[in-house]
Structure 1
Amino acid sequence: MHIRGEPMDTIHNTIPENAADTETAGQVTPEAYDSLYSKKDYGTLDYPVNARYLDLRKSYLNWIRWHWHEEMEVLIVDQGIAVVSTDDDSYLIKPGQGLIINQNVMHCIHAQDKKQCTFHSLVFHPDFIFGHKNNYLQTQYLLPLQNNQLFKVFFLDESAPWHERMLQTLTEVIEVNMSKNFGYEISTKGYLCHFWAELLRQLPQKEAVMPSRVSPDEQRVKEAMLYIRTHHAEPLTLQEIADSIHVSKSECCRCFARTLQMSPFEYLMKYRIYESTKKLMDPGQDFSSIANLALSVGFNNTSYYNKLFKKFLGCTPTYYRKHKVLHQEPERGTMSYFL
């Protein structure tokens, strides 16, 4: 989809072409990822490992929205085809295949063609393997991966025996963490040590140590996303978003287009709609009117809010709240619900 990159002076009441195109949505199930820089559901300080099973039909707009985290993540697809996007590429992951996502790499996940897609996710912090203090193991085995610009993601299939070995090892980690039988924590550490050593052996070493994996575009967009998240309920302007990352309005639009394939306006609108769905589902929220709800997430025009809501979710806010609808299934005409 072509992304318009021209600057806009206001990001409150006007809507450009394609702003409501759900193909570029970057949203998420509240239970799965509730923040852009995500710190939840990834285990504890003592055991920073978590494995879970995810069905993208049950996620908001069939997406796990743009986010990043300090932990490394592994996805292994069970059914369907998962599309994992980073700031500079997209990857199709088929059943039996996997993708390793390095620390702090911004990414989103959705099902190809909005069809069924289920996968297992394993998230773990390297501190579980190497400890919290600088030591020989960190210098020798951790830093070469953390500082490797060539390693944002790594695709695993059955094209080589070592791919199969890694997939089997990671599957074992997921299984022991899902079952949580006695001793699963120490078994996990053993499996992850084997995984890490194999990964280091296979990655190119001649360019292993580089200054940073994060591009200027990605860093700016991360900061802008956090700014939007904090100020989404305010009448934001493009100038304010651009100022938050110290660039011009046109450069801000270009950064978003190059990184997220959408404009700042599109991202803001989708985030506001996402926030409104959380409030609609929260029994503790008591809004006397949809107008008040719209205003609480940054819309001062109720009809415009209703128009965007229906465009994204296929129903009105009132219907959504009454029936606890997540989104409309495009092929069967049925509804999916929150987890």
Structure 2
Amino acid sequence: MAMRKILVDETNRELCEHGTVGFPMTVNHDDLWAFEGKSVPIHWHNDLEISLPREGEAIYQVYRKSYSVRPGDVLLLNRNVPHSCHSPNNNHARYSTFLTRPDFIYGEYGSDVERRCFRPFLQNSAVPCILLTSGNSCTRTVIQKLNETEALFDQKTFCYELKIKGLLCEIFGMILCEHQNDLAKFIPANQLELERLEQMLDYLNTHFESVISLQELADQVHLSREVCCRLFKKMTGKTITGYLEEYRVNQSLPLVQSCQYSMIQIADMTGFSNASRFARAFHRQFGCNPGEYNSLKLQKC
């Protein structure tokens, strides 16, 4: 069975369009075990994302903060927010993912709905996400309407598009009203920080095969090494070294699966200083050695 992979560009912006031009929303039925490494790597997109857990626990990393999301909870992720996801203790985590372009809901930019309802959230760096916890009456109603949305999307009966748009308006209306006090603490989004993160990710992703010095990376964004490290940690929740190791291991997978190269060759091709460091990094991420990966994968199929 082919493993899922989120396609991103050099800045980790997701390349896949969610929905269509005429109907810019979609519902995915996701399972973290369907992704390589049983996790979703750091990525970001211009669409709003709602995660509705179905089974198990998922840990979302949003900037520096981790959010534990279980069945009964709902997580709303703001647009242009770098995030990743994994399951603790190697357990299953299944969830429904709702993705929609913001203007599909609010209409024209500058409209009262956009300006008064959505702008305090979309352009507020103080609220990168909103977690609705179980046991709350608002959360229960939101889940009920998300379930209706998913059923309509799957069945695609006559006028399902119009019904879904109405439900999404209700869902976002409830969530934003429930958290209007948080939205009142408005801190304008820092576009420069996102642009600098894009530059750093672009540099790391295109030079991962080589030895990368922190000074070289800092020079790309015209920051000191210390500020560069703090900004990267703030925006991704990961250290530069940790991210680079994870990215290099992910790039090694096709080479491992091909069975054409030795450990030494793969380590050299993916930027590791030696085969031992590569093997340790691979084991940390996938729970097995590179040589065991293919046989274990066949056993699970």
Say if 2:60 and 2:85, in contact at 8 Å, map to a contact too.
yes
1:185-214 deviation line (CA, Å, top 9, x unaligned): 222111111122223332326954845245
2:137 corresponds, among 161, 181, 192, to 161
Say if 2:63 and 2:233, in contact at 8 Å, map to a contact too.
no
Instruction: Give the Cα separation in 1 of the matches to 2:81 and 2:262.
Output: 40
Instruction: Give the Cα separation in 2 of the matches to 1:288 and 1:117.
Output: 33
Say if 1:52 and 1:178, in contact at 8 Å, map to a contact too.
no
Instruction: Quickly say closer, same or farther: Cα 1:136–1:250, change in 2 above 3 A.
Output: closer
Structure 1 residue identity aligned to 2:63: D
Q: CA-atom RMSD, angstroms?
A: 3.1
Task: Report the CA distance between 1:154 and its aligned residue.
Answer: 1.4
Structure 1 residue identity aligned to 2:180: P
1:78 match: secondary structure: strand
Give yes or no for the alignment of 1:305 onto 2:278: yes
Equivalence for 1:129: 105
Out of 250-259 and 232-241, give the one that drifted further. Answer: 250-259
Structure 1 residue identity aligned to 2:36: Y
Q: TM-score of the superposition, structure 2-length normalised?
A: 0.83
Instruction: Give the Cα separation in 1 of the matches to 2:25 and 2:221.
Output: 33
The equivalences for 1:32-51 within 5 A come to 32-35=5-8, 36-40=12-16, 42-51=18-27
Give yes or no for the alignment of 1:71 onto 2:47: yes
Which 5+ residue runs of structure 2 have no aligned equivalent? none
Give yes or no for the alignment of 1:151 onto 2:124: no
Structure 2 residue identity aligned to 1:296: M
Equivalence for 1:109: 85
1:100-153 deviation line (CA, Å, top 9, x unaligned): 111112221111333222111111111212346544443343323212344321
Equivalence for 1:325: 297
1:108 match: secondary structure: strand
Instruction: Give the Cα separation in 2 of the matches to 1:63 and 1:314.
Output: 12
The equivalences for 1:13-52 within 5 A come to 31-35=4-8, 36-40=12-16, 42-52=18-28
Equivalence for 1:202: 178
The equivalences for 1:224-243 within 5 A come to 224-243=200-219
Instruction: Quickly say closer, same or farther: Cα 1:91–1:319, change in 2 above 3 A.
Output: closer
Instruction: Give the Cα separation in 2 of the matches to 1:114 and 1:64.
Output: 14
Q: Which has the higher contact order (CA 8 A, sep 6+)?
A: 1
Equivalence for 2:62: 86
Say if 1:149 and 1:208, in contact at 8 Å, map to a contact too.
no
Instruction: Give the Cα separation in 1 of the matches to 2:292 and 2:56.
Output: 30
1:42 match: secondary structure: coil
Identity of aligned residues (%): 25
Give yes or no for the alignment of 1:55 onto 2:31: yes
Q: TM-score of the superposition, structure 1-length normalised?
A: 0.75
Equivalence for 1:179: 155
Aligned residues: 297
The equivalences for 1:257-272 within 5 A come to 257-272=233-248
2:269 corresponds, among 265, 277, 296, to 296
Equivalence for 1:7: none
Instruction: Quickly say closer, same or farther: Cα 1:60–1:336, change in 2 above 3 A.
Output: farther
Instruction: Give the Cα separation in 1 of the matches to 2:57 and 2:276.
Output: 36
1:46-78 deviation line (CA, Å, top 9, x unaligned): 222111122223323222112211111111111
Out of 81-90 and 222-231, give the one that drifted further. Answer: 222-231
Task: Report the CA distance between 1:241 and its aligned residue.
Answer: 1.5
